[in-house]
């Protein structure tokens, strides 16, 4: 009897010691409930970590695309600057007719005809003629008698002609077009023109191919593209820096 009582007392003592130390039966309902809660918490945590990794990966890919977009915009703007520099800007800088003046018509006439060639298809060229219109004007600022050219390119094509129509197979069409231009000069005898302020060129032009306004609008869009590309790259780099700074602060606070 004493032996059975001692055995029961020892068992109760061991159970008490287990409870005191926080040990419970793994097969008890309470232990199962705690284990299930732990498993659910672990799954939620793993799911959150996976979502966080997916989010970080997506953000990294988006940042890379944004940087590539910004760099592509900058490269395109540099190419546009190069093309404009060898075409428009070069012609603008080489033009000596920079001073806007007033001209008065002195004489306008068709002097002679010149030969020209026009394209009639791939590897096909035919000869034709165009009438040469000469316009002499009086430059109001100096009182000189000067030959008027339509644009800077007109002087490069033929220095004897003020206006050169497009070369075509029909000479009569070119002649009628020149007659219309001649009548307009006779109708409007006072008009604006551009002269050489240095006086080296003894001629004036009616219209500038590349004015300051044209130059501004041509350079405006490449500049906007360059600024946009720089802004995109700068914002992405700033976002990355702020993210790293925030992460460091969180680690320090832990």
d(CA 194, CA 94): 14
Q: Give how far Cα 163 sits from Cα of 38, 100, 148, 189, Å.
A: 92, 20, 9, 16
Task: From 77, 66, 62, 65, select the one nearest 234 (Cα to Cα).
Answer: 66
Q: Which two tokens stand for residue 53?
A: 């990794």
Predicted TM-score of the model (pTM): 0.60
**Domain regions of the chain by residue span:** 71-95+210-244, 96-209
The reported pLDDT for the residue numbered 30 is 54
d(CA 83, CA 222): 11
What mean pLDDT comes out for the span 112-123? 84
What pLDDT digit, counting tens, does each position of 87-102 carry?
Answer: 887 777 778 888 889 9
What pLDDT digit, counting tens, does each position of 210-247 carry?
Answer: 877 878 888 899 999 999 999 999 998 888 888 888 87
């Amino acid at each position: 009897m004493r032996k059975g009582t001692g055995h029961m007392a020892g068992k109760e003592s061991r159970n008490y010691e287990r409870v005191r130390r926080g040990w419970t039966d793994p097969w008890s309902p309470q232990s199962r409930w705690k284990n299930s809660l732990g498993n659910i918490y672990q799954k939620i945590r793993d799911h959150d970590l996976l979502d966080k990794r997916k989010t970080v990966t997506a953000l990294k890919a988006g940042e890379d695309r944004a940087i590539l977009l910004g760099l592509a915009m900058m490269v395109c703007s540099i190419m546009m600057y190069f093309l404009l520099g060898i075409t428009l800007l070069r012609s603008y800088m080489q033009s000596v007719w920079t001073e806007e003046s007033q001209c008065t018509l002195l004489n306008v006439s068709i002097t002679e005809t010149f030969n020209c060639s026009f394209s009639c298809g791939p590897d096909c060229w035919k000869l034709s003629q165009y009438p040469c219109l000469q316009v002499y004007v009086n430059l109001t600022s100096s009182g000189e008698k000067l030959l008027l050219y339509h644009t800077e390119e007109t002087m490069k094509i033929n220095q004897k002609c003020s206006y050169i129509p497009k070369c075509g197979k029909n000479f009569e069409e070119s002649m009628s077009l020149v007659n219309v231009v001649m009548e307009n000069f006779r109708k409007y005898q006072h008009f604006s023109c551009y002269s050489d302020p240095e006086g080296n060129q003894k001629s004036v032009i009616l219209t500038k191919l590349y004015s300051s306004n044209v130059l501004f609008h041509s350079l405006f869009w490449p500049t906007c593209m360059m600024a946009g590309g720089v802004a995109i790259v700068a914002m992405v780099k700033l976002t990355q820096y702020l993210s790293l700074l925030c992460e460091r602060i969180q680690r320090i606070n832990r």
